[in-house]
Structure 1
Amino acid sequence: MGLRIEDVEEYDLSIEKREYSDRQLSRIDNMLEAEEITKEQAEFFKKNQRVELNALSPRQFVDFVERRLEEEGVEKVKPEEEDIEEPDVRNPEKVKEEARKKAVGSYVVNKARGKIIDKLDEEGVDYDEEVEEELKDLQDEGKEGIHGKVLDKLEDNPAKLWKEIMRDFVNERENEAERKEEKLDREVRNSVYNWCKENVDIDMKLEKN
């Protein structure tokens, strides 16, 4: 998909000087004889001239490629309907159902939260406290623990920047803490939910209009 003389003239492109070897000039003659190039193109090359595609501006290049593809009968690929990705649009019934649950939950929590939490504090809720202790240990270790690890790592790898080493350890600590936070959250939520099932009786009376 090279440039033609008419392209050079139409886009008013800059012409570069180029010395062609005897072998290249012979090839130009062969291409002319094989009708791979026109006589005008052959004469252009024999004047030690050339024009590269990068002489085109970005907009000109797009226009040039689109035009040449169109001339060759190349069309854009058009997808079939089954190729189209289905948009992720939620079922409105599901949206309404979740909204109702959230609204009812918020109302019940606002009405009963204080009493339930007071009762929880009074009676206590059983859950695996090991993960809580592990999270506390991570919190207590703080900068001091990471500082020691950074110094040890620098001894093993003095070429590495201390800030990179520190960031690796901090990321590792934060990821571990996040996993333990999620586990502790699940433990407490499950325990509180089960306690509520056994101890909370919601007597709901609907007022008639």
Structure 2
Amino acid sequence: MNVLTACTFDLKFTYVLLGWEGSASDSRILDNVLSREDNLNAPQGKFYLVDAGYMLRSTFLTPYRGTRYHLKEYSRHPPENPKELFNLRHSSLRNAIERTFGVLKNRFPILAEMSRYDVETVNEIVLACCILHNFLVDFDPDEEIIAQVDRDLMNNESDHELANGAIARGEDGRRGEILRDSIAAQMWNDYITRH
């Protein structure tokens, strides 16, 4: 089953959409989310960082394709151009979703054994776990779980679907490219000035 979520940098879920089959593409699910009454729209002047499985849009910024992305790839060789710096920082910030899911799965082991339940029950369990997770982040953050997730992520960095990423299309895709290029150029100028 596919689960589309948005989260904050303090590891809370702000949007959860359940029920799509596992074979559905990320971009197809996002297109559906944007047409729903309870859609996931970025506030004016803001955007979401998404992996390359999604379509580049003005409010959903993907990393640059064909450019180094993972944090480990930069451990010995610093970024050499604006695209690499953007991808490095994108990966670093996007790591919040990986951490959020890691904490969720560690906190609620039932999520690893969902195959015995029907789809409706799975949806209810996952949603309940996300709601409880948000509550516990404030009132019982369990620093040991968070530390373990951070160690696991450092050892097992995922691919973030870079090989299968969607290509920008249409006017909104062009606006996304312009915004991403502008952010990358500004980051690069600041980076060069400091180094």
TM-score interval, normalised by the smaller of the two chains:
under 0.3
Tell me which protein shows more strand as a share of its residues. 2
Q: What TM-score do you get using the length of structure 2 for normalisation?
A: 0.21
Q: What TM-score do you get using the length of structure 1 for normalisation?
A: 0.20
Tell me which protein shows more helix as a share of its residues. 1
Structure having the higher Rg: 1
Which structure has the higher relative contact order (CA within 8 Å, separation 6+)? 2
